[in-house]
């Protein structure tokens, strides 16, 4: 690709992520995927809601969950959602360096979230002996929250890969859709988390 391909603020299209046919296709296909992800998580939420009272006489949601940690995790993920909005704001203004910086902040916040989640799981397993095999509640809990954590991990790898791959290339019409779609994925992870902290943790504490 020649220099024509590189976004020149003076003549670049309005929405660089949708300026090419490939970009348009990626955009549409990715939202189709997100529709499917909604159904995937719904099946995990449905399972959790059906089984969270089947505790086999052991740990219940009430005695297990601590809201302080969940609150910190919620704030981290919500803030990382805003920082990826900032990254896309700079992408639309064709400021590659600032976009990379905000994506870097997003990744740091995501890593902190993941660290807290691993700590939480380790804490449950060692302090409470609450594992995947403890009860139907245990299986449903680790599957739902673990699947979300897996999405966070995948999203982090995705964003880091894009940042490294394109670090010397700069922003162009070929990679703008890639960055945009990775940020959509990151927002979707926060969408799922909103329901996890509400349905699993807050409603679990209410009983």
Please say which residue, 167 or 198, places its beta carbon nearer to another protein. 198
Number of residues binding to another protein, judged by CB under 8 A: 49
| Binding range to another protein, per CB under 8 A, among 75-83, 99-107, 126-134, 149-157 | 75-83
Total count of residues recorded for the chain = 207
* Token duo for residue 133: 């095999």
Per rule CB under 8 A, is residue 71 in the interface with another protein? yes
Q: Exposed, middle or buried, 136 (CB in 10 Å: 0-12/13-18/19+)? A: middle
CB–CB of 162/182 below 8 Å? yes
Per rule CB under 8 A, is residue 14 in the interface with another protein? yes
Q: How far is the CB of 119 from another protein (least distance, A)?
A: 19
3-state secondary structure 45-112: HHHHHHHCCCCCCCCCHHHHCCHHHHHHHHHHHHHHHHHHHHHHHHHHCCCHHHHHHHHHHHHHHHHH
Q: What is the DSSP letter of 164?
A: H
Per rule CB under 8 A, is residue 120 in the interface with another protein? no
Q: How far is the CB of 126 from another protein (least distance, A)?
A: 26
Which parts of 155-174 interact with another protein (CB under 8 A)? none
* Token duo for residue 158: 């995705």
Return residues touching another protein (CB under 8 A): 9-11, 14, 18, 28, 31-32, 34-39, 41-43, 45-47, 49-51, 67, 71, 74-75, 78, 81-82, 85-86, 89, 92-93, 184, 187-188, 190-191, 194-195, 197-199, 202-203, 205-206
């Amino acid at each position: 690709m020649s220099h024509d391909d590189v976004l020149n603020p003076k003549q670049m299209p309005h929405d660089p992520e949708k300026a090419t046919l490939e970009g348009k296709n990626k955009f549409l296909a990715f939202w189709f995927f997100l529709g499917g992800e909604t159904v995937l998580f719904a099946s995990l939420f449905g399972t959790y809601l059906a089984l969270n009272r089947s505790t086999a006489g052991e740990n219940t949601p009430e005695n297990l969950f601590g809201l302080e940690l969940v609150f910190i995790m919620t704030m981290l993920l919500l803030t990382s959602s805003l920082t990826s909005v900032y990254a896309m704001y700079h992408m639309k203004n064709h400021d590659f360096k600032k976009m990379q910086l905000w994506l870097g902040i997003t990744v740091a916040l995501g890593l902190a979230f993941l660290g807290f989640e691993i700590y939480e799981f380790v804490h449950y397993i060692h302090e409470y002996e609450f594992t995947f095999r403890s009860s139907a509640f245990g299986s449903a809990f680790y599957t739902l929250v673990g699947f979300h954590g897996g999405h966070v991990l995948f999203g982090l790898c995705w964003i880091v890969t894009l940042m490294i791959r394109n670090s010397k290339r700069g922003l162009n019409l070929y990679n703008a859709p890639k960055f945009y779609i990775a940020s959509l994925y990151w927002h979707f992870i926060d969408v799922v988390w909103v329901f996890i902290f509400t349905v699993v943790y807050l409603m679990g504490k209410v009983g």
